[in-house]
């Protein structure tokens, strides 16, 4: 499996590094370049060979510079070259140029050896795009998943006969003889039958072969086992007994069958194939989406899956180490947001119940949002949503903004830490009290990413609007917050930083590399993380 991926000068990618897990979620807005990561892998390790014939201008970010793609494997791959010699590949690299001349070379690292068909059998990448048709995959050919599976079945059947395919054919001929006689029976002397077709076809062939040096007499038979696999059809029977060909079903069921073929291939060919699939959630209802995500987790134990998604059901805070969030700007092109090194599988396992107490499908939106506003409760959430829609002209959905109800001040602290760890663009709003604010919140406030409301929202608004009295009933309070935001013609000046954050174009999130040899300023996270990974207290960490 791939443990390191490097892509340079490919489409929207100027330079990008990934350290993917066996299950790798590629997240980010539309057109950010998620698909380009999969296409780079397809160019490097796909089923067809990368040659000069594949070179085109659109592949190059800068046509004057070479494309470089390199993948390093977690376990070196041993394969035989075209001369039968054993080669050990620690990784594979591709270099392609457009100018001054067309060149394309794919070789192993570090030795620069050429790949062979044997390598493709032991490691290859299968790309499943978002625009997928069942009919394309239902044909049993050398390029479809079904075709590859049937080819493997056929090869294994021959191997079971000691490699003697003629012996297999002879045995099949005897077994299938009664069925052949039934099919070829001349059941109606006056109608066209298979028997008449065979007789007439052979007679015409003999007549047309007059003058040939050798006798020409064709034979029509069905004794090739592979022929039966090529006639494979998938049908679906409904509860009422009606039977439908898979290609006649609706898009949702077709996609479900295609995903099932993919799962079957991954399960039976595990360890030899790396999958890249775009938007697996297409046409699936929520429960099926969650079931498929769980299937991905299981399949990735023995294989590797890269996938892109816009759906919260396909990410989990429990598996945040598998998430790679992509961004794009004019200067850097497509790049990956830096995650804090504390986010590891073991750490997430240790804090799983804290994660469970905070995260749900709605809060998973922070992984997808361009901006996230963190608030304490539902009345705060509806107030800010209404101000945005009714007063500030901000379309939250079109702008890719999520407002997250964090269930109290502790939740705001928690998700502030999460956003900081993941490098996300956030703004936190919380109620003040007599105590000094938590260091995470104090840091957010001083960096222009936080607003402390004096007392709480109700008291703050009442101090500015004396006639406003909030109910103690939660539902009534939500209604009052909505109605106030809807009817007010002015709002406190303290709200202005929130408006500016939500209104401004998405800023570039800086990537600050960690340089251990140089002193750094104290980080507010240090009080939570203990200043070093070895000192982390899982009970105190906010993620």
Cβ partners under 8 Å of residue 200, min gap 6:
none
Give the pLDDT of residue 9.
Answer: 97
User: pLDDT tens for residues 378-397?
Assistant: 999 999 999 999 999 999 99
Classified as helix, coil or strand, 49 is: coil
User: pLDDT tens for residues 339-380?
Assistant: 888 888 998 989 888 888 899 888 999 999 999 999 999 999
Residues 380, 457: Cα–Cα separation, whole Å: 7
Classified as helix, coil or strand, 302 is: coil
Classified as helix, coil or strand, 60 is: strand
Question: 86: which 2 tokens?
Answer: 């054993």
User: pLDDT tens for residues 205-247?
Assistant: 888 877 766 667 777 776 677 777 777 888 888 888 888 887 7
Position of tokens 């395919």? 165
Query: Among 178-182, 295-299, 443-447, whose mean pLDDT is lowest?
Result: 178-182
CA atoms within 13 A on the CB side of 235: 9
- Spell out where 81-186 has E strands: 86-97, 103-109, 124-128
Cβ partners under 8 Å of residue 131, min gap 6:
none
Instruction: Give the domain ranges of the chain.
Output: 2-140+249-334, 148-230, 359-535
Residues 522, 538: Cα–Cα separation, whole Å: 20
The CATH architecture to which 2-140+249-334 belongs is 3-Layer(aba) Sandwich (3.40)
Average pLDDT (5-33) is 96
Classified as helix, coil or strand, 313 is: helix
With 50 as the cut, is the pLDDT of residue 326 above it? Answer: yes
Give the pLDDT of residue 522.
Answer: 43
Average pLDDT (333-337) is 95
Position of tokens 């800086």? 510
316 pairs with which residues across the strands?
none
Strands 323-329 vs 243-245: parallel, antiparallel or unpaired: unpaired
Residues 163, 175: Cα–Cα separation, whole Å: 20
Classified as helix, coil or strand, 339 is: coil
Choose among 72, 57, 137: nearest CA to 102.
57
| 273 touches 302 (CB < 8 A) | no
Residues 341, 335: Cα–Cα separation, whole Å: 17
- Spell out where 64-165 has E strands: 67-80, 86-97, 103-109, 124-128
Residues 51, 44: Cα–Cα separation, whole Å: 10
């Amino acid at each position: 499996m791939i443990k390191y991926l490097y892509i340079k000068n490919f489409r929207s990618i100027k330079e990008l590094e990934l350290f993917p897990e066996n299950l790798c979620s590629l997240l980010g807005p539309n057109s950010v370049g998620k698909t380009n990561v999969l296409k780079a892998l397809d160019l490097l390790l796909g089923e067809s060979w990368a040659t000069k014939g594949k070179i085109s201008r659109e592949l190059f970010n800068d046509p004057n510079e070479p494309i470089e793609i390199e993948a390093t494997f977690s376990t070196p791959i041993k394969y035989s070259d075209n001369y039968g010699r054993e080669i050990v590949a620690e990784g594979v690299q591709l270099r392609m140029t457009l100018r001054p001349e067309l060149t394309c070379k794919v070789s192993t690292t570090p030795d620069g050896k050429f790949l062979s068909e044997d390598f493709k059998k032991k490691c290859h990448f299968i790309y499943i795009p978002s625009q997928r048709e069942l009919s394309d995959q239902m044909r049993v050919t050398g390029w479809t998943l079904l075709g590859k599976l049937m080819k493997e079945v056929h090869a294994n059947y021959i191997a079971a006969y000691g490699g003697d395919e003629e012996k297999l054919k002879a045995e099949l001929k005897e077994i299938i003889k009664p069925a052949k006689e039934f099919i070829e029976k001349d059941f109606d002397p006056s109608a066209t039958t298979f028997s008449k077709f065979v007789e007439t076809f052979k007679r015409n062939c003999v007549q047309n072969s007059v003058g040939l040096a050798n006798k020409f007499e064709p034979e029509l038979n069905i004794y090739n086992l592979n022929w039966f696999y090529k006639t494979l059809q998938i049908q679906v029977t409904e509860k009422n007994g009606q039977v439908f060909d898979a290609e006649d079903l609706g898009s949702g069921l077709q996609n479900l069958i295609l995903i099932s073929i993919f799962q079957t291939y991954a399960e039976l060919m595990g360890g030899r194939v790396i999958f890249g699939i775009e938007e697996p959630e297409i046409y699936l209802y929520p429960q099926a989406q969650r079931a498929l995500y769980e299937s991905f987790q299981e399949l990735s134990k023995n294989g590797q899956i890269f996938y892109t998604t816009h759906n919260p059901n396909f990410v989990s805070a429990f598996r945040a180490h598998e998430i790679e969030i992509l961004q794009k700007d004019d200067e850097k092109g497509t790049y990956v947001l830096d995650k804090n090194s504390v986010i590891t599988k073991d750490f997430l396992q240790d804090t799983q119940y804290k994660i469970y107490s905070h995260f749900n499908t709605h809060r998973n939106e922070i992984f997808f949002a361009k901006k996230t506003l963190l608030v304490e409760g539902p009345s705060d959430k509806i107030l800010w949503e209404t101000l945005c829609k009714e007063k500030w002209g901000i379309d939250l959905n079109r702008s890719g903004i999520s407002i997250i109800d964090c269930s109290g001040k502790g939740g705001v602290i928690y998700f502030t830490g999460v956003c900081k760890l993941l490098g996300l663009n956030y703004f936190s709003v919380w109620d003040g009290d007599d105590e000094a604010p938590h260091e995470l919140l104090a840091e957010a406030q001083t960096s222009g990413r936080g607003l402390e409301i004096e007392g709480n929202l109700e008291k703050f608004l009442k101090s500015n609007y004396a006639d406003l009295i909030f109910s103690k009933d939660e539902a009534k309070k939500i209604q009052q917050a909505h109605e106030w935001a809807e009817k007010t013609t002015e709002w406190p000046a303290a709200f202005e930083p929130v408006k500016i954050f939500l209104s401004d174009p998405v800023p570039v999130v800086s990537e600050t590399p960690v340089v251990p040899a140089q002193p750094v300023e104290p980080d507010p996270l240090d009080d939570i993380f203990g200043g070093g990974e070895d000192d982390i207290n899982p009970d105190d960490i906010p993620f």
